């Protein structure tokens, strides 16, 4: 992997450290075992937390790494190289903390961040059964009762849902205000009324725990409101402008690079008609196209991550990075299966897991169809047509 994005030596060191660590601690055999069991390898999660990988973007003042989104992308790309599902577990901590980082008070940052810094997991609780890409259709409610908020509702498809110690929860505080009627709250796992519902038996990212999270008359202090009442939709969209490229995009890039490396290795030893299939120009062209997509996706992902670190937020570019990287990751995995032939379709080899994992990038944090709507809307605004 060429280091041509103006990385500092510290960033390169973190990248190499993560690469060495994750390939040692999460080898293919362990990934296969956890995938079959639909199980998060919590021993590896603990080691990641001890290394500071779950808190890499949290401020140094509260014990975090104090790193930006370029560094975060490097970490998640390396983890995604091994398994996008596990990258989702680690990346979800930053996703959950981001609402507090952007809109929370210093007290909230310290309180929420302590859970992560101390080795716990965090979860971002936005999605509901009828509110996926259309988050304005949320039905979970928060009602102010004296100096407490009372939360009721069910969240679905929550990454780290069953393993998290703390949640950033989005709930409706004014049902008549549309997207301006949703707010964001900090909810600890041990609050009375918080429980875990069913765990998803997923097609892919099976190393990540994905569950329902239920809130039954959960009481939290009024001070657990993040930002202002009614800012929930704005907070969620602001978070996604950061995590779509630096989370989904980066992990997808790692998946692509994994496909390329595995295909080169396999094609060099797999023989047909008396010679390695790597000598076949058709195979060479497929791998070359995978490399083109990888380099293009990576360039866009790191461009946007660098912009974020410099205080420039561009929703359309964030959507473009997420969409191109995740679409390309699926395309690369499909081509990798073709190169492996029947072996690519077998569970004895890692490629079918890579494909199942890659698909999620086209779905979560807004489907890629929604991302295209965001991009066109931006183009219309820029042209004065909207």
- Quote the CA–CA distance of 318 and 310 in Å, as a whole number: 14
pLDDT at 386: 76
**Correct CATH for 123-230 of 2.102.10.10, 2.40.110.10, 2.10.109.10, 3.40.50.1820:** 2.40.110.10
- Quote the CA–CA distance of 252 and 324 in Å, as a whole number: 9
H or E element: which one contains 46? helix 42-51
- Quote the CA–CA distance of 218 and 224 in Å, as a whole number: 12
244 closest CA partner among 375, 146, 140:
375
What count of other Cβ atoms lies within 10 Å of the Cβ of residue 276? 14
What is the distance, to the nearest Å, from the Cα of residue 66 to the centroid of all Cα atoms in its chain?
19
Runs of H (alpha helix) within 220-314: 232-243, 250-269, 281-309
The widest CA-to-CA distance across the chain, in whole angstroms, is: 79
pLDDT at 5: 67
Provide the pairing of β-strand 141-145 with 182-188: unpaired
pLDDT at 2: 47
Domain residue ranges of the chain, discontinuous segments joined by +: 9-120, 123-230, 234-382
Query: In degrees rounded to 5, what are phi and psi of residue 328?
Result: -65, -35
pLDDT at 6: 84
Encode pLDDT of 158-184 as tens digits. 999 999 999 999 999 999 998 899 999
Question: Residue 239 to residues 97, 184, 308, 371: CA-CA distances in angstroms?
Answer: 9, 12, 11, 14
Asked if 123-230 and 234-382 have one fold, the answer is no
Any idea which residues carry the catalytic annotation?
365
**Correct CATH for 234-382 of 3.30.70.360, 3.30.300.180, 1.20.140.10, 3.20.20.480:** 1.20.140.10
pLDDT at 134: 78
Q: pTM of the predicted model, to two decimals?
A: 0.96
Strands of 49-160, DSSP E: 121-125, 141-145, 148-159
What superfamily does domain 9-120 belong to in CATH? Acyl-CoA dehydrogenase/oxidase, N-terminal domain (1.10.540.10)
The token pair at 353 is 């897991």
**pLDDT mean by block of 10 residues, the chain; 386 residues:** 72 97 98 98 98 97 97 98 98 98 98 98 96 83 98 98 98 94 98 98 98 98 98 97 96 98 98 96 98 97 96 97 98 98 96 98 95 96 88
66 closest CA partner among 117, 27, 128:
117
DSSP string, 335-382: HHHHHHGGGGGSTTSSHHHHHHHHGGGGTTTS-HHHHHHHHHHHHHHH
pLDDT at 235: 98
Q: Is residue 273 classed exposed, middle or buried when 0-12, 13-18 and 19+ CB atoms within 10 A define those classes?
A: exposed
pLDDT at 132: 75
Q: Taking a C-beta distance cutoff of 8 angstroms, is the pair 308, 246 a contact?
A: yes
Residues 6+ apart with CB under 8 A from 374: 315, 316, 319, 366
């Amino acid at each position: 992997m060429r280091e041509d994005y103006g990385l500092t030596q510290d960033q390169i060191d973190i990248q190499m450290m993560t690469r060495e660590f994750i390939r040692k601690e999460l080898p293919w055999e362990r990934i296969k075992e956890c995938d079959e069991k639909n199980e998060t390898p919590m021993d590896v999660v603990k080691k990641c937390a001890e290394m500071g990988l779950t808190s890499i973007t949290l401020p140094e003042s509260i014990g975090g790494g104090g790193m930006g989104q370029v560094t975060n992308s490097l970490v998640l790309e390396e983890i995604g190289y091994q398994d996008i599902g596990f990258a989702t577990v680690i990346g979800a901590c930053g996703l959950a903390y981001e609402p507090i980082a952007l809109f929370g008070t210093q007290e909230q940052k310290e309180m929420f961040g302590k859970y992560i810094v101390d080795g716990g997991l965090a979860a971002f609780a936005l999605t509901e059964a009828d509110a996926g890409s259309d988050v304005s259709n949320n039905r979970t409610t928060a009602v102010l009762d004296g100096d407490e908020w009372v939360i009721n509702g069910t969240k679905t498809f929550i990454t780290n849902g069953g393993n998290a110690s703390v949640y950033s929860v989005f709930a409706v505080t004014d049902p008549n205000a549309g997207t301006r009627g949703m707010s964001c709250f900090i909810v600890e796992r041990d609050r009375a009324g918080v429980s875990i519902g069913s765990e998803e038996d997923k097609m892919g990212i099976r190393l990540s725990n994905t569950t329902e999270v239920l809130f039954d008359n959960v009481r939290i202090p009024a001070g657990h409101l993040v930002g202002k009442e009614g800012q929930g939709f704005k907070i969620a969209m602001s978070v996604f402008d950061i995590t779509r490229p630096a989370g989904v995009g980066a992990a997808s890039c790692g998946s692509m690079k994994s496909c390329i490396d595995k295909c080169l290795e396999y094609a060099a030893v797999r023989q047909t008609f008396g010679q390695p299939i790597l000598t076949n120009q058709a195979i060479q062209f497929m791998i070359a196209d995978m490399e083109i997509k990888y380099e293009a996706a990576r360039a866009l992902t790191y461009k946007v991550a660098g912009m974020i670190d410099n205080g420039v937020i561009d929703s359309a570019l964030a959507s473009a990075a997420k969409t191109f990287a995740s679409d390309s990751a699926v395309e690369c995995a499909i081509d990798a299966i073709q190169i492996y032939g029947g072996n690519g379709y077998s569970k004895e080899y890692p490629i079918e897991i890579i494909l199942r994992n890659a698909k999620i990038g086209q779905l979560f944090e807004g489907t890629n169809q929604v991302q295209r709507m965001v991009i066109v809307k931006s183009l219309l605004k820029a042209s004065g047509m909207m």
